[in-house]
Amino acid sequence: MPDHPQPPPRTGRVIDPVSGGGVIDGVIATELTANADPRGHLFELLTTRDAPVEDIVHVYQVVAAPGSIRAWVYHRYQHDRLVFTSGCFDVILYDIRPDSPTMNRLNVFQVGEQQPGLFDLPPFVIHGVRNTGTEWAFFLNMPTQVYKPDAPDKWRLPWNDPRMPYSFDAS
């Protein structure tokens, strides 16, 4: 039996940060819309239906304990493509690109089950994630480069680094 034709999911709707002004240049924060029925929800994460998509070369899932913080990280070459459809997360972004029109801009987003979203984060945008919910939750990453254990494109700062203009302690 063939599947029933369905309207395409809404795509391209931008998620606005809850703080930090406009979205950091080059960051794409897209609302995801569920295709729901009595069995549950289906989210389209990436599709070439509307535009080309960089190849999927690596996918991983992070399972985050309630209140846990995963910060700070950035990359020199790859884009991270983070997907949030479960739980409740704060996603904090900070632009450290010297020639960016939004250098030193901080964005804070609240995403998860109530506001599903997909983020495309360019190189040199520092990011951190906190599970603000009371239950375990997960998110996915589909980076644009394969993780190389012997030469990772991953740079870290401590979660409480005083150079960051955001404090997980104060939020």
Average pLDDT across each block of 10 residues of the chain; the chain has 171 residues. List them in order. 70 80 93 88 84 89 98 97 97 97 97 96 98 98 95 95 91 59
Asked if residue 122 belongs to a domain, the reply is: yes
Q: What is the pLDDT of residue 10?
A: 60
Q: How many degrees, rounded to 5, is the angle at CA 12 between CA 115 and CA 68?
A: 30
Pairing of strands 35-37, 106-112: unpaired
CATH number, domain of 81, equals: 2.60.120.10
**Number of structural domains in the chain:** 1
Give residue 80's domain range. 28-34+56-156
Asked if residue 123 belongs to a domain, the reply is: yes
- Could you tell me if 109 and 17 are in contact, meaning their C-beta atoms sit under 8 angstroms apart? yes
SS (H, E, C) 14-27: ECCCCECCCCCCCC
